[in-house]
Chains A and B, each alone.
Chain A
Amino acid sequence: MIHDMIAIVRDYWLLLLIGQYPNGPLGGLANTLILSALSIALAFPISILFATARLSKSPLLRWPVTALVYFTRGVPLLMLILWSYFLVPLLTGADVPSFVTMLTTLVVYQSAFLSEVVRAGIVALGPGQMDAARALGHSYIGAMRYIILPQALYNMIPSILSTFVSTIKDTTLGYVINVPDLTFAASQVNNQLLTQPFQVFLILAIVYFAICWTLTYFANRLERRITRRRAGLLNVSAAVVTPSKIVSEQL
Chain B
Amino acid sequence: MTMSVSTQESQMIRLSQVCKSYGDYPVLKDIDAEVARGEVVVICGPSGSGKSTLIRTINRLEEINSGSITLDGQNIHASMRAKALNAMRSRIGFVFQNFNLFPHLSVAENVSMSPIRVKGVTADVAHEKALKLLDRVGLADKARAYPGQLSGGQQQRVAIARALAMEPPVMLFDEPTSALDPEMVGEVLAVMKSLASEGMTMLCVTHEMGFARDVADRIWFIDAGQIIETASPEDFFSNPTHPRAQRFLADLRH
Task: Give A contacts to B, CB under 8 Å.
Answer: 128-129, 131-140, 142, 146-147, 150-151, 154, 230, 232
Across chains A and B, the number of contacting residue pairs, with CB separation under 8 Å, is: 63
Choice from A135, A146, A154, A230 contacting B89 with Cβ under 8 Å: A135
* A136 CA to B162 CA, complexed, in Å: 9
Whether the Cβ atoms of B166 and A128 lie closer than 8 Å is no
Residues of A within 8 A of B46 (CB): none
Is B230 engaged at the interface, CB distance under 8 Å to the other chain? no
Whether the Cβ atoms of A134 and B82 lie closer than 8 Å is no
Residues of A within 8 A of B91 (CB): 137
Contacts A134-B61, A232-B146, A232-B149 given; does A147 touch B102 at CB 8 Å:
yes
What are 25 inter-chain pairs, A to B, with CB distance below 8 A? A128-B98, A128-B100, A131-B100, A132-B96, A132-B100, A134-B89, A135-B59, A135-B61, A135-B89, A135-B94, A135-B96, A135-B163, A136-B89, A136-B94, A136-B166, A137-B91, A137-B118, A137-B119, A138-B86, A139-B82, A140-B82, A151-B104, A232-B146, A232-B148, A232-B149
> Chain B, 82-93, contact with A by CB distance < 8 Å: what is the 0/1 string?
110011011110
Whether the Cβ atoms of B118 and A138 lie closer than 8 Å is yes
Whether the Cβ atoms of B90 and A137 lie closer than 8 Å is yes
Is B42 engaged at the interface, CB distance under 8 Å to the other chain? no
* A82 CA to B114 CA, complexed, in Å: 50
Residues of A within 8 A of B104 (CB): 150-151, 154
Contacts A129-B100, A136-B166 given; does A230 touch B148 at CB 8 Å:
yes
Residues of B within 8 A of A134 (CB): 61, 86, 89
Chain A: minimal CB distance from B12 (Å) = 17
Residues of A within 8 A of B146 (CB): 232
Closest A-B pairs by Cβ, 6 of them: A137-B90, A132-B100, A135-B94, A136-B114, A128-B100, A137-B118
Is B212 engaged at the interface, CB distance under 8 Å to the other chain? no
Residues of A within 8 A of B83 (CB): 139
* A132 CA to B105 CA, complexed, in Å: 14
Is B117 engaged at the interface, CB distance under 8 Å to the other chain? yes
User: Closest residue to B103 on the A side, CB-wise?
Assistant: A151
Residues of B within 8 A of A135 (CB): 59, 61, 89, 92, 94, 96, 163
Whether the Cβ atoms of A137 and B163 lie closer than 8 Å is no
* A128 CA to B102 CA, complexed, in Å: 10
Chain A: minimal CB distance from B67 (Å) = 21
Chain A: minimal CB distance from B60 (Å) = 9
Whether the Cβ atoms of B117 and A138 lie closer than 8 Å is yes
Chain B: minimal CB distance from A112 (Å) = 27
Whether the Cβ atoms of B100 and A137 lie closer than 8 Å is no
User: Closest residue to A139 on the B side, CB-wise?
Assistant: B86
Whether the Cβ atoms of B100 and A142 lie closer than 8 Å is no
Whether the Cβ atoms of B114 and A137 lie closer than 8 Å is yes
Whether the Cβ atoms of A136 and B82 lie closer than 8 Å is no
Is B126 engaged at the interface, CB distance under 8 Å to the other chain? no
Chain A: minimal CB distance from B4 (Å) = 19
Is B54 engaged at the interface, CB distance under 8 Å to the other chain? no
Whether the Cβ atoms of B118 and A132 lie closer than 8 Å is no
User: Closest residue to B159 on the A side, CB-wise?
Assistant: A132
Chain B: minimal CB distance from A131 (Å) = 6
Residues of B within 8 A of A133 (CB): 102
Interface residues of B in 49-101 (CB under 8 A from A): 59, 61, 82-83, 86-87, 89-92, 94, 96, 98, 100-101
Residues of A within 8 A of B82 (CB): 139-140
Whether the Cβ atoms of A129 and B114 lie closer than 8 Å is no
Whether the Cβ atoms of B96 and A131 lie closer than 8 Å is yes
Chain A: minimal CB distance from B41 (Å) = 19
Chain A: minimal CB distance from B123 (Å) = 13
> Chain B, 160-172, contact with A by CB distance < 8 Å: what is the 0/1 string?
0011001000000
Is B31 engaged at the interface, CB distance under 8 Å to the other chain? no
Residues of A within 8 A of B59 (CB): 135
Whether the Cβ atoms of B96 and A136 lie closer than 8 Å is no
* A144 CA to B169 CA, complexed, in Å: 26
Chain B: minimal CB distance from A32 (Å) = 35
Chain B: minimal CB distance from A152 (Å) = 10
Is B113 engaged at the interface, CB distance under 8 Å to the other chain? yes
Chain B: minimal CB distance from A137 (Å) = 3
Chain B: minimal CB distance from A222 (Å) = 16
Residues of A within 8 A of B166 (CB): 136-137
